[in-house]
Amino acid sequence: MMDALVDHATQTIRAGSKSFSAASRLFDPDTRRSAVLLYAWCRHCDDVIDGQVLGREQAGAANTAQERLAELEDATRRAYFGESMSDPAFAAFQAVALKHDIPQRHALEHLRGFAMDVEERRYLRIEDTLEYCYHVAGVVGVMMAIIMGARDEPTLDRASDLGIAFQLTNIARDIIEDAAIGRCYLPADWLAEFNISPQQLGDSRHRPAVAVMAKRLVDLAEPYYVSALQGLPALPPRSAWAVATAHGVYREIGVKVVERGERAWDSRTFTSGADKLRLVARGVWQVWDARRREPRPRPALFRRPR
């Protein structure tokens, strides 16, 4: 049964995130199994809310997004109660959550991020956007760190910062794609500065302004990326290497978005196979470098709730 769950989760991660799939291969086998099981649940919840399969194919769900969210919350609680899970994604989540004693509040905090989408939350200031980033990605970083054996709050804080950095990068890369499905994570005060409504983001005449706002997001992510590296010394060596590699791969996407400027949304921005190999090697140096550096303070603009 467990082998089947791991196979399902591995296929999910390969189809859903080439970047995370590449980095996850660096974990030791046991940590990798748990990481892909958690990823499968996160991906499943995201797709259920959007009525998709791996972010692409429409699943054709007839019930409303609110009903689907309620079903996810109910199934998550039942998984913690030890009930038998028929859905592979929830069976995977149950296995990893109970094995590593992941607090239920973290899983529900993650679902709160999807609730923000369902409620069509408006993000008035950048702090609101950062709150969303925490729920959909920062708390996932916390759960991943727990899988790697971290329990102390300072290390979990750094893991949260990495997830926030990842999500800021994702938002910058996907501004136009998100706008096409009626979603906007850019703060309203930024849009007002350029006199752009969320509905106008896809208009080519606004690409210069979109490029400026994307750069702001990438710049904002940078101190969170720096902060995240401070957590590497607390992780086992192979886990630290995997995290450092994922750090480099996602950060590079943001760098490429800024370099492409107004053309960043003509096609999807990604890191090539050669880029990933280079960043795998660089990850070894980052792990070593993090162990010899003095800890730096965390970004003050947003910090995960305790």
| pLDDT tens, residue by residue, 184-212 | 999 999 999 999 999 999 999 999 999 99
Q: How many CA atoms lie within 13 A of 293 on its CB side?
A: 17
Q: How far apart are CA 262 and CA 242, in angstroms?
A: 32
Distances (CA, A) of 158 to 2, 299, 301: 31, 10, 14
Residue 56 has pLDDT above 60, yes or no: no
Average pLDDT over the chain reads: 91
151-185 as b/e, with b when 16 or more CB fall inside 10 Å? eeeebbbbbbbbbbbbbbbbbbbbbbebbeeebbb
pLDDT at 59: 46
- Given a cut of 60, whether residue 5 has pLDDT beyond it is no
- Looking at residues 113-138, what average pLDDT do you find? 97
12 pLDDT above the threshold of 80: no
User: What pLDDT was estimated at residue 19?
Assistant: 65
Q: What is the pLDDT of residue 3?
A: 59
Domains plus CATH for the chain?
Answer: 1-101 (no CATH), 121-306 (1.10.600.10)
Q: How confident is the model at residue 220, as a pLDDT?
A: 98
Q: How much is the average pLDDT of 123-149?
A: 98
Q: How far apart are the first and last CA of the chain?
A: 36
Name the token pair of 236.
Answer: 């086992």
With 80 as the cut, is the pLDDT of residue 18 above it? Answer: no
DSSP-derived secondary structure for 190-214:
HHHHTT--GGGTT-GGGHHHHHHHH
Lowest-confidence segment of 85-89, 95-99, 148-152, 158-162 by average pLDDT: 85-89
Greater confidence, 8 or 115?
115
pLDDT at 54: 46
What local confidence, expressed as pLDDT, does residue 151 receive?
96
Q: Which of the pair, 164 or 270, is modelled with greater confidence?
A: 164
Q: Which residue has the tokens 């609730």?
A: 115
Give the per-residue pLDDT at 2.
54
Let me know the angle formed at the C-alpha of 170 by 168 and 175, rounded to the nearest 5 degrees: 95
Higher pLDDT, 47 or 134: 134
Q: Is it the case that residue 6 has pLDDT exceeding 90?
A: no
Mean pLDDT in residue range 225-237: 96
pLDDT value of position 40: 87
